[in-house]
Amino acid sequence: TKKISLNQMSDFMKARKAVRRRISQYNKIVEIVDAYPQIKPTQKPKPSFQLELDYSDFEDFDEEPALPKKPLSISSLSPSLPLPVSIPGTISGVASKLQPDPEWTVQVNLSDRSGTKQVRLTEKVLSGMIGFSSEEFRQLKPASSTDPGIKTFLRNGLQSCQRELVFLTGLFVIQRNTLDQHSGPFEVISVSKLESSKERELKEYVMSKFS
């Protein structure tokens, strides 16, 4: 048999101790890891846009606003209504003289299929038909007695307004009378076009009643 020297024996013992030391260190690491619970990898949460609503808070609301069953008519026009209001109508006659002081004003009969009521046409409406304001008229009128051109200009404007008022049909915006309560409770602040077929039908109906 081969004999082992003392030096070789010493090296073997050192290597054996080193291996045992490494095994001991490994066992301690395993014990430490086992002492903690297993941690599962977390999943990234998915974004959500679902709102959590308490629909009982919306029970008092309708899905759509309630619409009036019928459009507002002349017969329903009343000072108790929340004014201004818009009413389709036709002027069926003039009920007063055209006055330029303190502003252009005239009373007219406004009619539809439900009836007729008197309303006052305001400066804003009349000056557009005449072509000049009441203030311009008052300034030019004195010169019309000596200046034929000014006289013709003023006369043409007034005649143009008179022609336009004859069965004028449209959507009349009406509010409370701001000038003179003795001339009635209502005044017209604007007139706009109706749909052509509705305008024609309404105008023909009022003309058949008042012509």
Per-residue pLDDT of the chain (211 residues; tens, 9 = 90+): 455 556 666 666 766 676 677 666 666 655 654 555 554 555 554 544 444 444 454 445 445 444 434 558 999 998 888 889 999 999 999 999 999 988 999 999 999 999 999 999 999 999 999 999 999 999 999 999 999 999 999 999 999 999 999 999 999 999 999 887 666 789 999 999 999 999 999 999 999 998 7
Nearest Cα to Cα of residue 88 among 208, 209, 197, 210: 197
DSSP letter for each residue of 80-148:
TS-S-EEEEEEEEEE-S--B-SSS-BEEEEEEETTEEEEEEEPHHHHHHHHSS-HHHHHHHHHHHTT-H
Pair type for strands 186-192 and 106-112: unpaired
Q: What is the pLDDT of residue 20?
A: 72
Cα–Cα distance, 172 to 170 (Å, whole number): 6
- Cβ partners under 8 Å of residue 199, min gap 6: 169, 170, 193
Q: In 3-state terms, what secondary structure has residue 63? A: coil
> Which residue reads 């010493």 in tokens?
10
Tokens of 138: 């008052």
* Class of residue 186 by CB neighbours under 10 A (exposed 0-12, middle 13-18, buried 19+): buried
Cα–Cα distance, 74 to 92 (Å, whole number): 13
